[in-house]
Amino acid sequence: MTDSTSRQSCPTLFVTAPASGQGKTTITAGLARFFARQGKVVRVFKTGPDYLDPQILAQASGQPVEQLDMWMAGPEYCQQKLYEAAAVADLILIEGAMGMFDGEPSSADLAAYFNIPMAIVMDVKGMAQTAAAVAAGLAGFRQDITVAGLIANNCGSERHAQLIHDALPATLPLLATLARNEAVALPERHLGLVQAAEVYDQLEDCFDAAADWLAGSGFSLSGHAVTDLPAAVAFSAGRIEQPEKLLAGRHIAIARDQAFSFIYQDNLRLLEAMGARLSFFSPLSDTQLPRDVDAIWLPGGYPELHGAALAANHSIKACLVEHHGEHKPILAECGGFLYCLETLTDLGEQQHSMLGLLDGHGWMRGKRGCQGMQTAMLSEGEVRAHAHHRSRSTGTTEPVSHGRRQRHPAPGEAIYQQRGLTASYLHLFFASNPTAIAALLGAHNSQSVVLPEHFDNVG
């Protein structure tokens, strides 16, 4: 168990907004690149179960980026991650999710729990004094949060900026006014931002432009010079138990390429901490699995963008079918679940043959989909997870269970288990129940367990 009496301090700022689409990721990435160019070590966190923004922010900062979510991961986990980052960083930035008070727990809940000041990013196009009124309302909505100031994005002119500045209360500074700049826009597709590895050079140009954009605005996180850091926040160590070596001697092969990339780095670290040996393979380009594999993890991603290549790789498909035929464990999440079905029809209405490990067919469906927090109800134990997809499956067999939604009584995502395969739309957060994950992947001495007690107070 970690020593909870230890403390580390680091300048920290939480970047939030009244809604999605206000520019949080662009500004967080720009701040990370600006301070990284000053020689600072910048550690960035993303609130919520997001795979794409962390890829972007990791490239911008040059440092690993992890998710913080008190429901999915638990407050002790979040506390430990912030403590570890504060020990090595010159600056910690946290990008919020959705609006400032959206979700349970919300961005504001996380900031309040750790006493982190928040900067409100707002797209102010089409309003002036009203922007100040909205920002003041957000800042005063709860007494347990601290708001460092407003970052006015998409500001039309110096006069526009002055009107907002003059209308703000003295307790709410205008940290920056940013004119519209197409050069800093991040590339997007149907599930959000494009994966960083696909557009590395384009992102580099965006990050440098965003850093220059911020510097040209005369922004200040401290109330003084643009190069000054915000106030330091002290973080205590979390009470985190070290996992048992339940996967000692187990070799786990993980699909990782442009089709399958939705992988929490902490999931990988946990598997290794439990003693597993990890290898990676590409269902797009490899013809064989790694040698002597005990279990396989097929994570989420964008198989719908690579349906033809996945269908054409008959060699790796045969290896996966053989592995399944031997009743060896396979964990398939979202895109991995679609890959396990008989066919997948992409957004262009082209149908591609998949693995056929499960009866059924996957169909992409444009803008309609499902997202939200759920608990995977498994015979091995309960695992916290989330769903985010714009597809549906038809013709599947009867599921063994459904996810339990965080706040709604309707059944969640269907969960299928047969001959060692566990498949669903749910993305699992392994640290919420390491023993259950070990059992899914074939640990011999695991048994059914419920969630640890430290999750009880977050929903």
Structure confidence by residue, pLDDT tens digits, 420-432: 999 999 999 999 9
Residue 39 confidence (pLDDT) above 70: yes
Q: What is the pLDDT of residue 147?
A: 97
Q: Which residues, at least 6 apart from 370, have a Cβ–Cβ distance to it below 8 Å?
A: 387, 388, 389, 413, 425
Burial 204-234 (b: 16+ CB within 10 A, else e): eebbbbbbbbbeebebbbeeeebeebbeebe
- Considering the four listed CATH numbers 1.10.3720.10, 2.60.120.620, 3.40.710.10, 3.40.50.880, the one that applies to the domain covering 251-458 is 3.40.50.880
- Greater confidence, 443 or 331? 331
Domain ranges of the chain: 7-236, 251-458
Q: How far apart are CA 330 and CA 293, in angstroms?
A: 11
- Residue 93 one-letter amino acid: L
Distance CA 147, CA 231 (A): 12
Mean pLDDT of 286-302: 97
Q: How confident is the model at residue 222 (pLDDT cuts 50, 70, 90)?
A: confident
- pLDDT of residue 368 exceeding 80, the answer is no
- Which pLDDT does position 182 carry in this prediction? 74
Answer whether residue 321 shows pLDDT above 50: yes
pTM of the model: 0.88
pLDDT at 1 over 80: no
Encode pLDDT of 396-412 as tens digits: 999 999 999 988 888 99
Confidence of residue 241 (pLDDT cuts 50, 70, 90): confident
**Residue 459 pLDDT greater than 60, yes or no:** no
Predicted confidence band of residue 344 (pLDDT cuts 50, 70, 90): very high
* Arithmetic mean of pLDDT, 198-219: 83
**Averaged confidence pLDDT in the chain:** 90
Q: How confident is the model at residue 448 (pLDDT cuts 50, 70, 90)?
A: low
Do 7-236 and 251-458 fold alike per CATH?
Answer: yes
Mean pLDDT of the region 362-374: 80
155 noted as active-site residue: no
214 band by pLDDT with thresholds 50, 70 and 90: confident
HEC states along the chain? CCCCCCEEEEEEEEEECCCCCCCHHHHHHHHHHHHHHCCCCEEEEEECCCCHHHHHHHHHHCCCCEEECCCCCCHHHHHHHHHHHHCCCCEEEEECCCCCCCCCCCHHHHHHHCCCCEEEEEECCCCCHHHHHHHHHHHHCCCCCCEEEEEEECCCCHHHHHHHHHHCCCCCCEEEEECCCHHHCCCEECCEECCHHHHHHHHHHHHHHHHHHHHHHCCCCCCCCCCCCCCEEEEECCCCCCCCCCCCCCEEEEECCCCEEECCHHHHHHHHHCCCEEEEECCCCCCCCCCCCCEEEECEECHHHCHHHHHHCHHHHHHHHHHHHCCCCEEEECHHHHHHCCEEECCCCCEEECCCCCCCEEEECCCCCEEEEEEEEECCEEEEEEEEECEEEECCCCCCEEEEECCCCCEEEEEEEECCEEEECCEECHHHCHHHHHHHCCCCCCCCECCCHHHHHHC
Q: Is the pLDDT of residue 166 over 70?
A: yes
The DSSP bridge partners found for residue 251 are 277
pLDDT of residue 2: 46
Q: What pLDDT is attached to residue 367? A: 64
pLDDT bucket at 458, cuts 50 / 70 / 90: low
Q: What is the mean pLDDT of residues 311-319?
A: 98
pLDDT 10s digits, 61-114: 999 999 999 999 999 999 999 999 999 999 999 999 999 999 989 999 999 999
Question: Which member of 78, 334, 340, 370 is catalytic?
Answer: 334
Q: 49 near 69, Cβ under 8 Å?
A: yes
The token duo for 441 is 């992947």
User: Six-digit token pair at 136?
Assistant: 């003041």
- How sure is the predictor about 201, in pLDDT bands with cuts at 50, 70 and 90? confident
The more confident residue out of 94 and 455 is 94
Tell whether domain 7-236 is in CATH 3.40.50.300: yes
